[in-house]
Amino acid sequence: MAVTDVRPATPADAPFVRATLENSWATTTVAVHGELIDATDGPALIAWLADERVGLATYRPDDTGWELLSLDAILAGSGVGTALLTALTDHARDHGARRVWLVTTNENTTALRFYQRRGFDLVAVHRDAVAAARRLKPEIPDSADGIPIRHELELERML
Ligand SMILES: CC(C)(COP(=O)(O)OP(=O)(O)OC[C@H]1O[C@@H](n2cnc3c(N)ncnc32)[C@H](O)[C@@H]1OP(=O)(O)O)[C@@H](O)C(=O)NCCC(=O)NCCS
């Protein structure tokens, strides 16, 4: 099964965007680098397989580069995440961005593997940053996969 299309989210996608974020991250907000960001406020890309929505990327373009706020594959391991990341990177490059960057957390070894295999470089480790994030967003769990969630890892890909 291959993703047939990646398209910018429209108002018709709002229920999917909200449900996907809440399902993966408990709320639509992302707590990173000391900020609480509502990912529904900004742009998003949706991956489609035929007439079904199978993935979501939310992001925030800024002067220093485009920040990927969330990436979720409803159908894991089928190329959805790669298709979204490729589309986001192409889109950022077309708009003159110099880098795409993101923050993930230390327990997310799937994400760390995924991004590094796709040209992203680990540029910073913010030790114990999740304690501050948890004050902004108490829904962040203490651990996952038996690993305490403590540190923010910043990855970037220069364009
Ligand atoms: C990270 C994520 C977006 C990848 O999306 P995906 O559609 O599964 O990715 P793809 O199918 O394009 O590629 C999957 C790659 O990850 C591996 N993979 C996918 N799911 C995996 C899993 N559950 N465990 C381990 N590896 C996995 C595949 O083997 C493949 O590896 P490759 O580099 O050899 O090709 C997806 O796993 C996901 O939604 N995770 C939960 C949310 C999350 O952690 N997002 C990232 C932080 S913002």
**In sequence order, what DSSP letters do the residues of 44-79 get, joined into one string?**
EEEEEETTEEEEEEEEEEETTEEEEEEEEESSTTSS
pLDDT tens digit sequence for 56-107: 999 999 877 999 999 999 988 999 999 999 999 999 999 999 999 999 999 9
Which ligand 1 atom minimizes the distance to the CA of 117?
A: 33
- pTM score, whole prediction: 0.94
Do 133 and 140 contact (CB within 8 A), yes or no?
A: yes
Kind of pairing, strands 121-126 and 44-49?
Answer: unpaired
Which ligand 1 atom minimizes the distance to the CA of 75?
A: 7
Q: Which residue has the CA at smallest separation from atom 31 of ligand 1?
A: 114
Helices (H) and strands (E) in the chain, counts: 4, 11
Token pair for residue 54? 């199978």
- Find the 114 Cα to ligand 1 centroid distance in Å: 6
Q: Which of 149, 118, 119 lies closest to 133, judged by CA?
A: 149
Ligand 1 is surrounded, with C-beta below 6 A, by 24, 70-73, 76-82, 104, 108, 110-111, 114, 117
